[in-house]
Structure formats: C-alpha cells, structure tokens
Structure 1
Amino acid sequence: MTEQAPMIPHHSCMGRVFQPLLSCTPGLLALFMFLLAAAASAQDPALRFGGAIPQEVETVYERGLAWLASKQSEDGSWQGGHTGAGIDGICLMAFLASGEDPNFGRYAPNIRRGLRAIIRSQDANSGYLPNSMYHHGFAMLSLSEAYGAVDESLLWEGGSSVRTIAQALDLAIRCASNAQKANRWGGWRYTPNSTDADTSVTGAVLMGLLAARNAGMAVPDEVIDTALEYMKRCTGRDGSVAYTGGFGGFGESMNRSAIATLVAAVSKHKDSEEFSATLKHITERLDHSEGTYKEYFRYYMAQALFQGDYASWQKWNAATARTLGETQGSDGSFAGSPYETGMSLLALGLNFRFLPIYER
C-alpha cells in the first residue's frame, strides 16, 4: 500500500443514544425532538439515510463478506498478500459498514476477532499499529468506527483484556502526534520516525485522526491543522496534488486529488480554494479508470465524491457497482485478496450509510 503500490449512529447504538432521554422532563424531551427535527430538515433525507440498496450492491457485498469471514484467521487477522493492522482494519470496516449488528449479528464474532487482532498487534509503549504508517492510519480509522458501536463487555469474551478500544485509540493518537513532531513537513510517511512525508500516507493517518476526533477522542487541533496545511501546500490551482515535497501540483493523480478532497471535507474546510479545485478535478473525470491500485482509487473516490458532489457520486456509484459485479470472483473475493476484497466492498459501503465516517 504505497503510492507506487499504494452521525448517524449504528442501529445497535440507537438504544444507548436515546435511553437517557427516557428520564428527561417533558420540556427537555420536547426541546431535543425539536432540535432533532431541525437538524433532519437541514439535509436531504436521501443524503443522510440513502434509498433502497440496489440488488447489485447487496449481492456483491454479501458474497464479499462471506468470503472475508471464511478467510479470517483464528487470531482475527487476515493473511494473503498485504498483511498488518491496516489490512485487518479495512476488512473489519467492511463488516461494520454493512449494517449487520456488530454485537449480535451474523458477523459479530468476526468483528470481535478482528478488533482483538488489531489491539494485540499494537506496540504498548509507542502506540504504533504495524506494519507501516499506512497501516497505522487505517487501523486507527477502524478502531474509531468500532468505538461506541461494539459492546466491549463482549469483546474479549471472558478472556484477559489487553486494552479497551479507547485506550488503543489514545495510544495510536499519541503515536501519530509524536511522529508528526519529528517530521519537518508536518505530515507522515512510512515509519513513525520518517523525516519526509507524502500526501498518500498523510491522508491515511489524517483520516484516522479525524475519525477518532469525531468519535469523541481527544485529538490535538494542532496535529490536525498542521497536517491539513501540508496537504494544502501540496495542492495546485488545477486540483492536482503532489506526492511529496510539500509544493503544489507536480504530477496528476486522481488518487491524491480524491484524498485531498476527502480530508478537506471531513475536516470542514469545504470553503477553501483547494477543496474547490480538487473536487472540480475529480468530478470532471468520472470516467477515469486506474490501471494499477484501482481498489485504493475506488475507496477514496467513493468517499470524496459523496462528501463533495452527491449527484456525481450517484453516477459514479452506479458504474462502480456494475464493474465490481462483473469482476468479482466466483468465490466472492476480488483477486483472492483480503485487501482488494475489503477495499472493493468499502467502495460500495456508502450505499448503506452506517459508518460514522461516511456521514455527510
């Protein structure tokens, strides 16, 4: 996974979200319902909740999840090709995104095993989630999406708890913060002690941090702002994004433009010139097809378009669903790879609207 290889609560959380309201006074309850209605009216319900899931998407997703479940190791990890905490995180998010109850649904055991594998792989001192800062970013993102949705009293199933999801996230945030302090560009690259940075790794770590902050974890504003400034310096006026070096443009890459669009949107910087430029760059190229690392491209393109231009996402999503339906293996996998299968499913995950990071 390199450049050369590169809140709507979950249904299971709804009880925990609304349970405290049962003891509210009528006045407070009425105020809450008014605010909830006002928030709902401010956004197209189709954006927030989606419509009917296309059968094509349902079929691809169900077959893909069944394959991932069958290939998960007893220790909770996924082996084959790329391996590490980030791959486990990608596969874990594919299950979480489907809308299955993460605590009592069909795939709840797979979700718990995946979480345990990620937490056990973490360095207890540095907080690093191996095998690279790519992995660290994706693993941190998956932990953030599981936090609050997964019942931790069930997570370790009577065994000895290594650490809670919140504790693992806190360690991961500190690792990313310390790595950034040692980086002269203000971003991240392959290892925690890298002194250079690139926009691909920086985007992955930044999404993990933004998801952690959205989940309620303490993430220093300075860390987010410094990384966003690095992404901004790497963005050209035409919406192209440099791979490394910290100076705008220099080489067209739809992957990098999609990543830059996404982090700007999720960090609430849609009013910036850079966001407008990168969004224009990708929406004018909806027919673009990557020759290599296409799963990586689809993963970021789906989220960037959804965040930036819903109509463009609808068009792109329909085409992507057809493509994935045609290229999915007879066994339900994509190229027999957990990484490619997980990323391909997540490219369709926005159809379900369950992961908090997919909220618009």
Structure 2
Amino acid sequence: MSVGVAGFAGLLLLVTALPAAAQPPAVRVGEVVPRDVREIYDRGLQYLASSQSEAGNWNGGGDNGPGVTGMALMVFLASGEDPNFGLYSNNIRRALRSMISQQNASTGYLGGSMYHHGFAMLGLAEAYGTVDDRHLWEGAEPNRRSIGQALELAVRGAITSQKKNSYGGWRYSPDGSDADTSVSGAVLVGLLAARNAGIEVPDEAIDRAINYFAKMTSDSGQVAYAGGLGGFNESIARISIGTLVYAIARRKDLPQFKATLGYLTQRLDNSGQQHYLEYTRYYQSQALFQGDVEAWEKWNKLLVRQLKQTQLADGSFPGQHGPTVGTSMSLLALALNYRFLPIYER
C-alpha cells in the first residue's frame, strides 16, 4: 500500500515494562459515543464478522494477507466488546491464529510485504495483554506460538530489516536497501505499539527511523515519499504519518512535528480530495487526535457524516484494495470515538 500515492499499491504484493492492561471504558472514552458512530461501526463489524473465513483471514475480493487480517483484528478489538468472551471473541482468536500461523518462524516475517508485516505487528501488539493466550489455540493445532512470542519475533524481524537499510527506514521487501515514508510508517507504528505493550524495542531503532522521517519532512510540513526531499506533491496521508510517528515516539519537541501538525490543522476539510481516501483517513484521524484534540473533534464530525453517506447496504465500505481494507481502515478512523486500542491513547 504505498501512498505517495505510489506506494499504497505495494501493500499488497499486500508506551512500559508490562503488557498494557485494558482500562475501563470511562477512562478512555469519557463521554457517550454518538449514536451515528455506533450504528456505522456496528454495521461494519457485522460485515467483517460475516466475511471472515474459517481459517481466520479475509478472502472475499480485493487484497488479503497478514496485514489485512491485522487491520480487521484491530476493528474488533477497538469495539469495546470483551475480546475473550464477547460477541466477536471467536473472530478475534481466528484472526490471531491466522496471522501467527503465517509468520516465518525463523525470521519473524509476517509476509507479503513489509506493509503486511507492519500492520500485522500492530495488530499483535494491540492484542497482547488483552487476549488470553490460554484460549487462543482451543480446538486448533496445539503448541503454537503465543501472541507475545509472535510479537517478539515480529519486532526482531523489523529490526533486522532496518539494519540492512542505509536510510534507517523500510521498503516493500525485508531485504530492501531503499526506503519510503509510507512503508516505514506502517512498520514504525507497529514497533512503537510493541514498545508500548512492553516488548523490548531498542532506542536506536526508533531514533534511526525518526531521524529518517525528520530528513524527509520539509519546513512547510510536507513529507516526501522516497529518495529524500524534493519532488513534493501534497499528500495528507504522508503528512499524517509523519505527525503520528513523531507524536507516539514522544518527539513532539521536534520542529518537524510542529510543521506537519500545522499543515494538517490548516486543511481539515481537504481529505476528500485525496486518492486512497480510506488510507488517508486512517492516519489523519490518529495524527489529529494525537496532535490537536480540538482539531480532531471538528474533523471527526465531518468524517462521521461522510462515512454515513458512503457505507454500503451490507455494512462495508468501498476501497481501492477491496472491501476488507476499505471497511477496516474506515472503521479504524472512526474508532478514536471509542479509544479502546492502546495505540489510540494520548
């Protein structure tokens, strides 16, 4: 999925010493979730639940793989339902088993592309400490890796890949020698989520990746796609990725963070002009929430209206890469209204 927008198509060749414990809803939400949000989200959940295969992945049209499964997994986790005994607990376990079963036991690679690896790693990180491993493999092949073991392997795989990369970022292949900000954003957010969940992630790895993003960010707040500064075209998605990684890496002191956030807050109604709209919304929602809650609240009202108009009769959302990606990313953009995912905490 490389958005620059060139990179989004590549998707589919496509923070703490203990596991994060779920907080009570009132701690994270603080107010009642609006009815429109709940109705949109519930219909989308029903679509994802009904279209999941018995193997735990999603095959029905469009892209599929561990990263897509990781996105859909996060939609279920973000709903507020009990992940172990709630309405969607079986969907959650099947998704996790699918991802872990597809992981390379030697390299930790969650294959297809580093996009898949990044989003699958993020899904594992959000499930870690929330989903009870004692129930994960019930009725399935025994003696499989736990969520924590799979997450540690995935982190090791991402760091091994980065060490081969002179830019300090990531590209489609785990052996890639170049980098782009779209793939790098997917992997870096996964690493930051793993660190937040209590998995050891070397500071050097985070610092190198943030340094890469800083070099790719102009004074105006625009973020280049690949190859260094120059050849800019406006990409709200890339600017949102930059804002988000600076924020959750706790580097809001950087001038690049202030520049990217400023660019976003001055263009709250501009996302409708973007290609790969669901991808842009996914990152824009998180970037604004982490950077400027008041700006996010204004933007979120627009988002709810737009999603209400575009949701299809079966509960899905259209997307460039099929209904699973379109639905998952659209609902995850909306999930800040719930704020159950640890990565959505401020």
* Pair in the same fold by TM > 0.5: yes
Asked if structure 2 preserves the Cα contact closer than 8 Å seen for 1:207 and 1:263, the reply is yes
From the superposition, tell whether residues 248 and 222 of structure 1 become closer, same or farther in structure 2 (CA, over 3 Å). farther
Could you report, residue by residue, the CA deviation over 1:42-100 in whole angstroms, capped at 9, with x for unpaired residues? Answer: xxx99943321111100000000000000000000011211110000000000000110
CA distance in 2, matches of 1:246, 1:171: 30
The residue correspondences of 1:124-273 to structure 2 (distance < 5 A) are 124-159=105-140, 160-247=142-229, 250-273=232-255
* Cα RMSD for the two superposed structures: 1.7
Tell me the residue number matched to 1:286.
268
CA displacement at 1:353 relative to structure 2: 1.1
Could you report, residue by residue, the CA deviation over 1:264-290 in whole angstroms, capped at 9, with x for unpaired residues? Answer: 000001111000000000110001124
From the superposition, tell whether residues 121 and 157 of structure 1 become closer, same or farther in structure 2 (CA, over 3 Å). same
2:224 is paired with a residue whose SS is coil
2:338 corresponds to 1:352 = yes
CA displacement at 1:190 relative to structure 2: 0.2
Counterpart residue type for residue 304 of structure 1: A
Could you report, residue by residue, the CA deviation over 1:223-264 in whole angstroms, capped at 9, with x for unpaired residues? Answer: 111001000000000000000113378332111100000000
The residue correspondences of 1:74-85 to structure 2 (distance < 5 A) are 74-79=54-59, 80-85=61-66
Tell me the residue number matched to 2:11.
none
CA distance in 2, matches of 1:9, 1:347: 22
The structure with more radius of gyration: 1
Tell me the residue number matched to 1:116.
97
1:306 is paired with a residue whose SS is helix
Structure 1 unaligned spans of 5+: 15-44
CA displacement at 1:355 relative to structure 2: 0.4
TM-score by length of 2: 0.92
Tell me the residue number matched to 1:92.
73
From the superposition, tell whether residues 316 and 9 of structure 1 become closer, same or farther in structure 2 (CA, over 3 Å). farther
Asked if structure 2 preserves the Cα contact closer than 8 Å seen for 1:183 and 1:197, the reply is yes
From the superposition, tell whether residues 249 and 215 of structure 1 become closer, same or farther in structure 2 (CA, over 3 Å). farther
CA displacement at 1:130 relative to structure 2: 1.4
From the superposition, tell whether residues 50 and 293 of structure 1 become closer, same or farther in structure 2 (CA, over 3 Å). farther
Q: Select which of 266, 278, 282 maps to 1:295.
A: 278
Asked if structure 1 preserves the Cα contact closer than 8 Å seen for 2:168 and 2:208, the reply is yes
TM-score by length of 1: 0.88
Tell me the residue number matched to 2:22.
10
CA distance in 1, matches of 2:325, 2:171: 20
CA distance in 1, matches of 2:233, 2:138: 50
CA distance in 2, matches of 1:233, 1:291: 24
CA displacement at 1:9 relative to structure 2: 3.8
Q: State percent identity of aligned pairs.
A: 57
From the superposition, tell whether residues 85 and 176 of structure 1 become closer, same or farther in structure 2 (CA, over 3 Å). same
Counterpart residue type for residue 332 of structure 2: L
CA displacement at 1:5 relative to structure 2: 5.6
From the superposition, tell whether residues 267 and 256 of structure 1 become closer, same or farther in structure 2 (CA, over 3 Å). same
Counterpart residue type for residue 350 of structure 1: L
CA distance in 1, matches of 2:297, 2:328: 21
From the superposition, tell whether residues 306 and 242 of structure 1 become closer, same or farther in structure 2 (CA, over 3 Å). same
From the superposition, tell whether residues 9 and 249 of structure 1 become closer, same or farther in structure 2 (CA, over 3 Å). farther
Tell me the residue number matched to 2:40.
60
2:94 is paired with a residue whose SS is helix
Matched pairs, number: 328
